Amino acid sequence: MSQTPSVVDQSEVLNENQAPETTFDHIDTLQQYNINAADITKLRNGGISTVMAVLQGLSEVKVEKIKEAAQKCSKTGFLTAAEVAKKRESICNISTGSKAFDAILGAGVQSQAITEVYGEFRTGKTQLCHTACVTVQLPQDMGGASGKAAYIDTEGTFRPDRIRSIAARFNMDEEAALDNITVARAFNSEQQMDLLNTLAAKMADEGGIYRLVVVDSILALFRTDYSGRGELSERQQKLNQHLTRLIRLAEEFNVAILISNHVQADPGAMTTFAAADKKPVGGHVLGHASTTRIYLRKGRGNERIAKLSDSPDLPETEATYALGVGGIEEA
- Please say whether the beta carbons of 123 and 186 come within 8 A: no
CB 40 within 8 A of CB 177: no
Q: Tens-of-pLDDT digits for all 331 residues of the chain?
A: 445 555 555 545 555 445 455 667 888 888 888 787 878 887 877 778 888 777 766 556 556 776 777 776 666 678 889 988 988 888 999 999 999 999 999 999 999 999 999 999 999 999 999 999 999 999 999 999 999 999 999 999 999 999 999 999 999 999 999 999 999 999 999 999 999 989 998 998 887 799 999 999 899 999 999 988 899 999 999 999 999 999 999 998 999 999 999 998 876 655 555 556 788 999 999 999 999 999 999 998 889 999 999 999 999 999 999 999 999 999 8
ω into residue 309 within 30 of 0, thus cis?
A: no
Q: What pLDDT was estimated at residue 65?
A: 72
The pLDDT score that the predictor gives to residue 292 is 96
Contact between 138 and 102 under an 8 Å Cβ cutoff? The reply is no
Q: If you write DSSP's letter for every residue of 81-144 in order, what string do you get?
A: HHHHHHHHTT--EE--S-HHHHHHTSSSEESSEEEEEEESTTSSHHHHHHHHHHHTTS-GGGT-
d(CA 321, CA 133): 18
Question: From CA 115, how far away is CA 310, in angstroms rounded?
Answer: 10
CA-closest candidate to residue 92, choices 110, 76, 73, 66: 110
The CATH topology of domain 86-330 is Rossmann fold (3.40.50)
Strand partners, 113: 256
Task: Give the pLDDT confidence score for residue 152 in this predicted structure.
Answer: 97
At 166 the three-state DSSP class reads helix
Whether 256 and 111 have beta carbons less than 8 Å apart is answered as yes
- Per domain, the residue ranges of the chain are 27-77, 86-330
pTM, full prediction: 0.80
N- to C-terminal Cα separation, the chain = 6
